[in-house]
Amino acid sequence: MNKIIPWRWLIGIILGFMLAGGFSPCDPPAAKTVPYREPSLFFRTAQAAPFWDQWFLGPATPVEFSEMYSGASSLGLQFSQKLTDLQGKRVSMTGFMAPPLKPTLAFFVLTQVPMAVCPFCSTDADWPNNIVVVKLKEPVTALPFDQPIRVTGILELGNELDAETGFVSLVRIQADNVEKAE
């Protein structure tokens, strides 16, 4: 009987420390103590596009900025036949990430040349006509505006308004891969 009481006391003391410290076996380890730092866009490549995607989705058709439009009219820019034929298909484009509106973003603007000034932030800057909005599956941290990147994903065409920012886009890529261009 003397051996049972110390074990009960020991268990009671351990449980008391656990409850007093706010520990619960249901809490994930260090969920409240370790600050979350979002990884760079390039660390997300493996998460966004597993290596088997190319087997299932097929190869991406490269599209150049110069191939996007066939002309302009009083109604606006006219999509090229190539772009129209690729709607809903997997494409790849190489360009530059424009300076974003905020540091963590769910989409970014791909441009043909680097832009040093964010057109959202400066009234002196305008967006070029041939931009592509790149939608991301998960928010990422912005990249330097002067590094060329290659975006691969599904092409979407037509007017679309982003409810959060009010940004209107004509051409979009639902990205499954973003990587440094060589």
% helix, strand, coil for the chain, step of 5: 20, 35, 45
CA distance linking residue 182 with residue 180, whole number of Å: 6
Q: Would you state the pLDDT for residue 152? A: 94
Q: What is the pLDDT averaged over residues 38-52?
A: 49
Give me the half-sphere count of Cα atoms (radius 13 Å) on the Cβ side of residue 121: 9
Superfamily of domain 41-180: Protein of unknown function (DUF3299) (2.40.50.870)
Mean predicted lDDT score pLDDT of the chain: 76
Q: Which residue has the tokens 């424009």?
A: 98
Share above pLDDT 90 across residues of the chain, in percent, rounded to a whole number: 27
pLDDT band (50, 70, 90) for residue 19: low
DSSP 40: B
Single pTM value for the model: 0.65
Q: Where do the domains of the chain lie?
A: 41-180
Residue 59 exposed, middle or buried by CB count within 10 Å (0-12, 13-18, 19+): exposed
